[in-house]
Amino acid sequence: MAQTLAQKLIARASGRERVAVGEIVTCQVDLAMFHDSSGPRRLQPMLEEIGAQIWDRSRIVLVMDHYVPERDDDARRIVRIARDWARDQQLPHVYDSQGICHVVVPQHGHIRPGMLCVGGDSHSPTGGAFGAYMFGVGSTEMLGVVVTGGIWLRVPETIQMWWDGRLPAGVTAKDMMLHMIGRFGMNGGRYQAVEFCGPAVTALSMQERMTLSNMSAELGAQAGLIAPDATTAAFLAGAGVPEVDTAPWFTDEGAELTRHRFDASALEPHVAAPHSPANSLGVSRYAGTPIDVAYIGACTGAKLDDLRAAAEVLRGHRVASGVRLIVAPASLRDQEQAREEGVLQVLMDAGATLAATACGACSGYGDPMGDDVTVISTTARNFKGRMGSPTAEVYLGSPYTVAASALQGRIADPREVLQ
């Protein structure tokens, strides 16, 4: 019986040869990831109340990324709880102020093809870019995982997003996602497994693939999968994982699924208007809208590839008068690589203010947006009040589009600048 990639991953985790769509199975978890906001401050009191212990410390990854650097007493309390708990539990995999969890965890080789992982964050499907079945869970579900090492799930249908062609210059995975969300809405994935396929996806770098899988959450999917290949293996080798088996992890010909086809070569840059990623149309529909702030940050918009894209637009230029450009690299590793390459200097020379390598304004912390400002941002979401004041108007775009808009003081098509 032909199986989808999602079915193969769930079958392995449940100790079976195959599973059928709609079955409810119990899976063994290979990795549980949580951060300072979703983790110890919620899990510690529940574990103490039931007198339970962690099932396997080696399979736990804790990242401090939401409330760092600590700016007030509440943040200091939350981060202190996380640090104390990590020390008391002797957790071997703790990343404190190293960057955003969805970027830091893969960069350290924790997510590999064939795994089933859970994360205490809605953008945990990022792990699907590596051929792993990874999804977000709440604190109560995470408690069950931390104590038992298992979780049940319903085997999902697969929605396959097949991209033919190749992306033009100045168009990115972020534009692909905004196009899909604009077409299908934020419930387009129907809590199923979305798989991204086709020549245009295969041609993407690993970090661009991570953007696709990450924003499958905005499609309403449980998981966002990409079959692993040589690109995956090369990235993991650089993360200290010398050998991975990518061969078994693909969707069989004839597997039951729903497929949608797209032409990457015809795609234009996209922008999502306030206050939903689903308000996404081609950049020409919003071009000319004046902006006050351009924000290049978050797990979908400030990885090394994203910083390089922004620098390509801004090299030799200055941002428009009155525009505030904020750059918050997604991880310290990416920030230092950007510094070595001269990318960071290009951004600073253009007038950027460098912010902390953390979730920052994406989660409304650190440097939140003020009242009545218009923002264009590389973040994944633009819900009312998410980035700060509920009166802030937040548009979403790719790093190319955000950089071009900063340069011109209004929402702009990056292709015009790159020409």
Phi, psi of 373, deg, nearest 5: -100, 155
353-354, strands of its sheet edge to edge: 280-282, 270-272, 393-396, 374-377, 293-297, 324-328, 353-354
User: Domains along the chain?
Assistant: 5-262 (3.30.499.10), 271-418 (3.30.499.10)
316-367 pLDDT, tens per residue? 999 999 999 999 999 999 999 999 999 999 999 999 999 999 999 998 887 7
Task: Please report the pLDDT score of residue 188 as a whole number.
Answer: 83
Q: In whole angstroms, what is the distance from residue 116 CA to residue 135 CA?
A: 9
DSSP 77: H
Length of the chain: 419
- The first and second tokens of residue 201, run together, are 């996806």
Q: In whole angstroms, what is the distance from residue 367 CA to residue 294 CA?
A: 13
Cβ 191 vs Cβ 220: under 8 Å: yes
Q: In whole angstroms, what is the distance from residue 299 CA to residue 297 CA?
A: 7
Q: In whole angstroms, what is the distance from residue 309 CA to residue 418 CA?
A: 10
Is the sign of the CA dihedral 15, 16, 18, 21 positive or negative?
Answer: negative
Q: In whole angstroms, what is the distance from residue 20 CA to residue 369 CA?
A: 46
Taking only the tens of pLDDT, the chain with its 419 residues reads 899 999 999 999 999 999 999 999 999 999 999 999 999 999 999 999 999 999 999 999 999 999 999 999 999 999 999 999 999 999 999 999 999 999 999 999 999 999 999 999 999 999 999 999 999 999 999 999 999 999 999 999 999 999 999 999 999 999 999 999 999 999 887 889 999 999 999 999 999 999 999 999 999 999 999 999 999 999 999 999 988 999 999 999 999 999 999 999 999 999 999 999 999 999 999 999 999 999 999 999 999 999 999 999 999 999 999 999 999 999 999 999 999 999 999 999 999 999 999 999 998 887 789 999 999 999 999 999 999 999 999 999 999 999 999 999 999 999 999 98
In the numeric block, the tokens 């995999």 are attached to 93
Complete DSSP assignment for 321-385: TTPEEEEE-SBHHHHHHHHHHTHHHHHHHTTPEE--SSSGGGGT-SS-B-TT-EEEE-SS---TT
Cβ 116 vs Cβ 133: under 8 Å: yes
Task: Please report the pLDDT score of residue 88 as a whole number.
Answer: 96
Q: In whole angstroms, what is the distance from residue 238 CA to residue 229 CA?
A: 15
In the numeric block, the tokens 């906001």 are attached to 37
Q: In whole angstroms, what is the distance from residue 337 CA to residue 305 CA?
A: 10
Helix (H) or strand (E) holding 345: helix 343-349
Flag whether the pTM goes above 0.85.
yes
Q: In whole angstroms, what is the distance from residue 377 CA to residue 396 CA?
A: 5
In the numeric block, the tokens 């390089």 are attached to 308
- The first and second tokens of residue 163, run together, are 């991209």
369-418 pLDDT, tens per residue? 999 999 999 999 999 999 999 999 999 999 999 999 999 999 999 999 99
Task: Please report the pLDDT score of residue 242 as a whole number.
Answer: 87
Nearest one of 361, 299, 375 to 330, comparing CA atoms? 299
Helix (H) or strand (E) holding 143: helix 139-148
Helix (H) or strand (E) holding 328: strand 324-328
Cβ 297 vs Cβ 328: under 8 Å: yes
Nearest one of 53, 44, 65, 64 to 139, comparing CA atoms? 44
